[in-house]
């Protein structure tokens, strides 16, 4: 009986596992192998280079700069997205007035969730066109420059560059504000776009978690004299910790990638200067850029390093945020 069950399980899983090994595991192993070569991606010759490509990564100023850009995104993007999503989810689900029916969300919360989630439905091409017009460096066709010019913040003759700005926004008065936050303006614009596109998804995720919590818990806290802020920090956050941990992993992985935004929205001039490069976009440029066709093996070394960073981040994050599940 057990032997028959084992054969059934093996037969059921054989082809899915085979496909996974062929189309997922094997390409990973090939990438690791090519990272130890000087292969140009086209010729049949694959000269062995050992760990020289990995040593060169420490000397590649553009790669190190791209790594720093990813670090800035990794710090800012998940924190801002999760905080905004938590705030809006709490307001929509528990922010309504308490009455005889108990605590409830604000009126029209379903419509608000749909509006917030809408950016998830847009393709990257539409997002690129939309935000390129918003950040355009002109007071005639650039929405944000025109708005700032209307209120007198921007001189119409000298509009802000936004996506074309390679300099950094330094924040005085903040410790290390001239170093830790020293990232090009174009990178901050990409982070704004990413937050705009991601808040809606995690708002829906956190809303689902909040709706699974019995409203009696919130009502009992309010009857005991708790304010909405105390209710949020003492009840909502602990009960949503599992969803927050998952969101942090997803957002961290997205922050270490960031390829689509950096490639589709940043102008080619920014990509040429490296101001908008993240690790993934520099990998693509190194492997397929018109002037670097002989660097395919080196690009594979970058990809392996990026995968290692992502794996280490996920392990550390899951270790830090691991807590016992709260039952209710």
Q: What pLDDT digit, counting tens, does each position of 105-129 carry? A: 677 778 888 889 999 888 888 888 8
Neighbour-count burial for 91-116, b at 16+ CB within 10 Å, e otherwise: bbbbbbeeeeeebbbeeebeebbeeb
Please give the Cα distance from 56 to 33 (Å, whole number). 17
170-216 residue pLDDT tens: 555 544 444 446 778 888 889 999 999 999 999 999 988 888 877 77
Q: For residue 110, give the nearest of 93, 95, 86 by alpha carbon.
A: 93
pTM recorded for the entire structure: 0.83
Whether the CA torsion 147, 148, 151, 156 is positive or negative: it is negative
Which stretches of the chain score pLDDT less than 70?
Answer: 1-4, 95-105, 165-181, 267-273, 290-294, 323-328
Running DSSP on this structure, what letter comes out for residue 48?
A: B
Residue 300, pLDDT score: 93
Please give the Cα distance from 118 to 43 (Å, whole number). 46
Residue 105, pLDDT score: 67
Tell me the domains of the chain and their CATH numbers: 59-321 (1.10.3720.10)
């Amino acid at each position: 009986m057990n032997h028959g069950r084992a054969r059934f399980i093996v037969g059921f899983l054989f082809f899915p596992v085979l496909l996974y090994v062929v189309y997922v595991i094997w390409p990973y192993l090939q990438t690791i192998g090519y990272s130890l070569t000087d292969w140009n991606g086209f010729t049949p010759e694959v000269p062995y280079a050992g760990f020289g490509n990995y040593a060169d990564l420490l000397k590649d100023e553009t790669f190190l700069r791209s790594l720093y850009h990813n670090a800035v995104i990794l710090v800012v993007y998940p924190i801002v997205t999760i905080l905004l999503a938590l705030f809006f989810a709490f307001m929509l689900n528990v922010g309504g007035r308490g009455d005889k029916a108990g605590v409830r969300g604000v009126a029209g919360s379903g419509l608000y969730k749909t509006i917030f989630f809408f950016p998830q439905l847009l393709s990257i091409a539409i997002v690129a066109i939309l935000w390129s017009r918003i950040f355009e460096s002109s007071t005639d066709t650039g929405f944000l420059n025109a708005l700032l010019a209307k209120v007198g913040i921007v001189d119409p003759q000298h509009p802000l560059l936004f996506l074309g700005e390679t300099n950094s926004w330094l924040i005085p008065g903040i410790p290390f504000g001239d170093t830790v936050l020293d990232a090009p303006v174009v990178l901050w614009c990409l982070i704004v776009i990413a937050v705009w596109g991601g808040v809606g998804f995690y708002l829906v995720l956190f809303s689902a978690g909040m709706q699974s919590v019995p409203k009696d818990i919130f009502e009992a806290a309010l009857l005991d004299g708790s304010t909405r802020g105390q209710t949020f920090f003492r009840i909502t956050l602990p009960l949503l910790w599992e969803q927050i941990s998952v969101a942090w992993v997803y957002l961290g992985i997205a922050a270490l990638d960031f390829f689509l935004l950096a490639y589709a929205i940043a102008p080619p001039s920014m990509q040429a200067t490296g101001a908008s490069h993240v690790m993934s976009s520099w990998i693509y440029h190194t492997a397929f850029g018109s002037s670097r066709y002989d660097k395919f093996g080196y690009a594979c070394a970058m990809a392996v390093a990026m995968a290692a960073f992502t794996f280490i981040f996920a392990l550390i994050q899951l270790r830090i945020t691991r807590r016992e599940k709260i039952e209710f």
